[in-house]
Structure 1
Amino acid sequence: MGSSTAFHLVFGALAANALPTVDYNFRPIIGVLSQEPSESLLDLLEDKNYTSYIAASYVKYIEGSGARVVPILIDQDDSYYENIASSVNGILFPGGAVSITNSSGYGAAGQKLYEHVIRANMEGIYMPLWGTCLGFEMITYLAADFQRWLTRCDASNKADRLTLQEGYMDSRIFEQMPDYVIDYVRLLNTTVNFHRWCMTPEDFTASGLSKDFKALATSYDFDNLEYVALFEHNHLPIFGSQFHPEKNPYEWASDEGHSAIPHDPFSVGVAHYFSNFFVNQARYNKQAFATKEEEQEALIYNYDTIFTEALGSSFTEAYFFR
């Protein structure tokens, strides 16, 4: 494969997503929600006093498309979440392994942020939200009136193509996707999954989610169970992927449990399409922090990463917070 072809794979999606430059935010900031570290993750660290973390792959994923990141901490008061959500240009709920209900700090903060996103968009403020894996599941839980319409499944360490659903082109995500990228997601195993809970198409309908959301694509677990892999809201800029696009370019664990992550140029190009798409959605939002000093204090650059893969983690790097 020639270098020009590789360049087209990685950067073509950005050109396809190009939006008018009028009233366009060229300094977008995405808030990424943190979550409680598992005991197994803390066991790898000398310092056991961290209360939350964010895998660095999510930060790089956003930065690679021209945005900056603010970590959103858990277990804060309402004014904290209101201020953050009123200052950033988009919000990302990452994957993980904690509760999607308010019994966890991740779930409690996610509920407040989701409610803010709904309210802001209804008031005319374009506020995009993306949920990946656990974040996808949390959006379904919140949008279905706090009902958990998930089925146990076996889809961990599995790379898949997407089965595109009827009407998929009638969506923000696919109407901007170049034909060659559509072919990659449709024909090649470019999306990687690490989840043990799925939402079936039947439950997507029975839950009432199909009234407000469109299921754009499905995938199949190891037992051939079909589940929703990608959705977006019919009217609001709310999106979710059960798969992990951030892992293709940025996670490198070599153990058997993570061997399915595709790093080929097709899969990396697909990952960059999704990050470019989401960051471009955030460019429609013109919110900002009250002062430059407040913005600088909030940015992820105030924190250092830890090379967690070297310690035995499945994450190559992670940020930890107190």
Structure 2
Amino acid sequence: VMSRFLHGVGKPIKVWAILTVLVILCRVGTCQKPSFNNAPVIGVMTMPCQFGEIEEDGRFHPFDSKTMNPEDHFYYGLFNSYKTYLEIAGAKVVPIIHDTPREKLLPLLGKLNGVLFTGGGLDLVDRQTKEYHVYTKTSQIIFDYALNQTDMGDYFPLIGIC
């Protein structure tokens, strides 16, 4: 094929052209392809926790103090075991703060491959006011999102561990 292109060209130029094409082909063949990370990104719902509970239980993974609500003396966190077993399975763990507003939660969910709801001693409904806890409201947004994604053909798994 090259001889057709180089018909009538001197021998030194033919050799030079062939070597140039070979070098280009070798470079193209060894170019690094973009690397992709196929690890799933799993959101894990945090739980509200009072400061005393964090100090007593070293198994609890708190998040930075900017997430504190000083009026309630609550902190957000999740048990290390949830984070650890997801990471051992190859997942990237993203905490979902349980009181994240809808307008911030939906874009975050679009970047996740699923959500884990952790178990614990949280009342999902206030016994006196009969109001849903903010954790329950946020969970409902996530559940509705998962249903919508699945209806559109994009499976969005949820798991709850009590």
TM-score, with normalisation over the residues of structure 2? Answer: 0.59
Partner Cα separation in structure 2 for residue 95 and residue 40 of structure 1: 19
* CA-CA distance at 1:40 after TM superposition: 4.8
* CA-CA distance at 1:39 after TM superposition: 6.5
Unaligned runs of 5+ in 1: 1-24, 134-322
Q: Deviations over 1:201-235 (max 9, x none)?
A: xxxxxxxxxxxxxxxxxxxxxxxxxxxxxxxxxxx
> Contact 1:99–1:106 at 8 Å: present in 2 too?
no
Give the letter aligned to residue 59 of structure 1. K
- Structure number with bigger Rg: 2
**Aligned match of 1:114:** 143
Q: Percent identity?
A: 28
Instruction: Give yes or no for the alignment of 1:86 onto 2:115.
Output: no
Partner Cα separation in structure 1 for residue 97 and residue 132 of structure 2: 15
Partner Cα separation in structure 2 for residue 28 and residue 67 of structure 1: 5
The count of corresponding residues between Structure 1 and Structure 2 is 109
Partner Cα separation in structure 1 for residue 138 and residue 93 of structure 2: 17
Partner Cα separation in structure 1 for residue 54 and residue 84 of structure 2: 22
Q: Deviations over 1:82-134 (max 9, x none)?
A: 0121110010001111123463232121111111111111111110111101x
* CA-CA distance at 1:38 after TM superposition: 4.6
* CA-CA distance at 1:36 after TM superposition: 1.0
> Contact 2:44–2:115 at 8 Å: present in 1 too?
yes
**Aligned match of 1:36:** 48
Higher relative contact order (CA 8 A, sep 6+): 1
Partner Cα separation in structure 2 for residue 29 and residue 81 of structure 1: 15
* CA-CA distance at 1:29 after TM superposition: 0.5
Unaligned runs of 5+ in 2: 1-36, 58-64, 126-130
Specify which of 92, 97, 107 is matched with residue 121 of structure 2.
97
What do you get for the CA RMSD once the two structures are aligned?
2.6
1:95-174 equivalent positions in 2, closer than 5 A: 95-101=119-125, 103-133=132-162
Partner Cα separation in structure 2 for residue 74 and residue 131 of structure 1: 14
TM-score, with normalisation over the residues of structure 1? Answer: 0.31
**Aligned match of 1:26:** 38
Q: Deviations over 1:26-48 (max 9, x none)?
A: 22110000111157515649x88
